């Protein structure tokens, strides 16, 4: 079967090739509704599929952007990615989503692969371990935005939440309720979000004149978390409140407390820093720090789109406030 060409569409619609080209590129300014309808009908009748590779070579754009998520299992990451995809859909740009699994090597591979595929720009939840690669993109003026996490060296547009301040307020909330033995559970302190949340925890305790007990700070991977929690609750002086630094830590905590018969609200007060779906429907006295994921995603997308459109601005860090519910 012969490939249907733009010339075939033009002939079927009774218009010129240039008019068909303008239609495909959504340049309708000087085109009547009747002409648009004729071209639409010709495309449908012939089953024409535009050659997007040829168009991208001509326009020096692929109309594709890449989203490299640190860990797709976080509901927050899904919400942000959805907002980014929605934003670009209105401009007929498609998003390719990759999951780096918090693995710098995997992140590096995805950055290199997506750039080899000539995507127009990247939004990255950075591992923070590929600085040379980040810096090379900045030097080449390649459109890139970081979201959720800060990276020290490269000058990159970044969209984050107020991790330190929100955690500080959560610990103040515990203290106001009379808690002094407050624990903090977190995955490995390898990224800015976790480090900043720990900083907020420590500062709130010190400002209240309370001791920062290193035994109450448990750090480990999710597979290790149960063992870490066992050690924490085997202490002679046990915590009466606990701050779970993200949703995955909270899930591990929930499994542990169910097994041990520890009741949230009665035996242990808990605040979770993350967006948990249907959190309002949980019949337990839990508090959650929710991030404005949709707004953060839209802002990251807008910053990337401006770069793709060659709008030059000095890179900034945009901080969105979270709230406790």
Q: What is the DSSP string of 37-94?
A: HHHHHHHHHHT----HHHHHHHHT--SEEEEEES-TTSHHHHHHHHHHHHHHHTTT-E
pLDDT of residue 10: 87
Report the C-alpha gap between 226 and 149 in whole angstroms: 26
Domain of 198: which CATH number? Answer: 3.40.50.2300
pLDDT of residue 267: 94
Model confidence pLDDT, tens digit, residues 221-270: 999 999 999 999 999 999 999 999 999 999 999 999 999 999 998 999 99
Reply yes or no on whether the pLDDT at 283 is more than 70: no
**285 lies in the same domain as 297:** no
Span 180-189, mean pLDDT?
97
User: If pLDDT is split at 50, 70 and 90, which confidence band does 58 have?
Assistant: low
User: If pLDDT is split at 50, 70 and 90, which confidence band does 54 have?
Assistant: low
pLDDT of residue 232: 97
CA distances to 152, 181, 227, 230, 235 from 324, rounded to whole Å, are 28, 21, 28, 28, 29
**121 lies in the same domain as 194:** no
Q: Is residue 19 in a domain? A: yes
**150 lies in the same domain as 298:** yes
**114 lies in the same domain as 209:** no
Helix (H) or strand (E) holding 34: helix 33-46
Reply yes or no on whether the pLDDT at 52 is more than 60: no
Q: Is residue 55 in a domain? A: no
Q: Is residue 168 in a domain? A: yes
User: If pLDDT is split at 50, 70 and 90, which confidence band does 285 have?
Assistant: confident
Of 25 and 104, which is predicted with more confidence?
Answer: 104
Summary mean pLDDT of the chain: 91
Residue 65 phi, psi (nearest 5): -125, 155
**195 lies in the same domain as 95:** no
pLDDT of residue 86: 97
> Which of the residue ranges 236-245, 273-282, 291-300 would you say has the lowest mean pLDDT?
273-282
Q: Is residue 135 in a domain? A: yes
> Which of the residue ranges 39-43, 175-179, 210-214 would you say has the lowest mean pLDDT?
39-43
User: If pLDDT is split at 50, 70 and 90, which confidence band does 57 have?
Assistant: very low
**175 lies in the same domain as 96:** no
> Which of the residue ranges 60-74, 111-125, 164-178, 208-222 would you say has the lowest mean pLDDT?
60-74
**132 lies in the same domain as 199:** no
**169 lies in the same domain as 286:** yes
**39 lies in the same domain as 66:** no
Reply yes or no on whether the pLDDT at 163 is more than 80: yes
Domain count, the chain: 3
pLDDT of residue 60: 61
Span 314-322, mean pLDDT?
95
User: If pLDDT is split at 50, 70 and 90, which confidence band does 55 have?
Assistant: low
Phi/psi class of residue 178: alpha, beta or left (left: φ > 0; alpha: ψ in -120 to 50)? left
State the residue range of the domain holding 187.
163-290
Cα dihedral 250→253→257→262 (10° resolution): -70
Q: How far apart are the first and last CA of the chain?
A: 61
* pTM across the whole model: 0.81
């Amino acid at each position: 079967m012969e490939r249907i060409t733009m010339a075939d569409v033009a002939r079927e619609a009774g218009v010129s090739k240039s008019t068909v080209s303008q239609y495909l590129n959504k340049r309708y300014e000087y085109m009547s509704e009747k002409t648009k309808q004729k071209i639409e009908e010709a495309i449908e009748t012939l089953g024409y599929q535009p050659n997007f590779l040829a168009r991208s070579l001509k326009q020096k754009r692929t109309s594709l952007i890449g989203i490299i998520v640190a860990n797709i299992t976080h509901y927050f990451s899904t919400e942000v990615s959805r907002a980014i995809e929605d934003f670009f859909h209105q401009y007929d740009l498609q998003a390719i989503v990759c999951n780096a699994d918090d693995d710098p090597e995997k992140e590096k591979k995805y950055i290199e692969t997506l750039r080899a595929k000539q995507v127009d720009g990247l939004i990255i939840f950075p591992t923070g371990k590929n600085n040379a690669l980040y810096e090379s993109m900045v030097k080449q003026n390649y459109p890139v935005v970081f979201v959720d996490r800060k990276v020290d060296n490269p000058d990159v547009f970044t969209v984050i939440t107020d991790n330190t301040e929100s955690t500080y307020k959560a610990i103040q909330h515990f203290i106001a309720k009379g808690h002094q033995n407050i624990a903090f559970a977190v995955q490995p302190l390898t990224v800015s979000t976790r480090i900043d949340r720990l900083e907020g925890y420590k500062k709130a305790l010190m400002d209240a004149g309370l001791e920062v007990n290193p035994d109450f700070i448990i750090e480990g991977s999710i597979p290790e978390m149960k063992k870490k929690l066992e050690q924490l609750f085997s202490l002679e002086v046990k915590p009466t409140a606990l701050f779970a630094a993200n949703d995955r830590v909270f899930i591990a905590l929930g499994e542990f407390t169910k097994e041990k018969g520890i009741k949230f609200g009665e035996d242990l007060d808990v605040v979770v820093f993350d967006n948990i779906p249907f959190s309002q429907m949980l019949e337990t006295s839990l508090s959650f720090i929710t991030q404005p994921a949709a707004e953060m995603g839209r802002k990251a997308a807008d910053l990337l789109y401006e770069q793709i459109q060659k709008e030059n601005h000095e890179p900034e860090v945009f901080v969105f406030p979270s709230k406790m519910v």
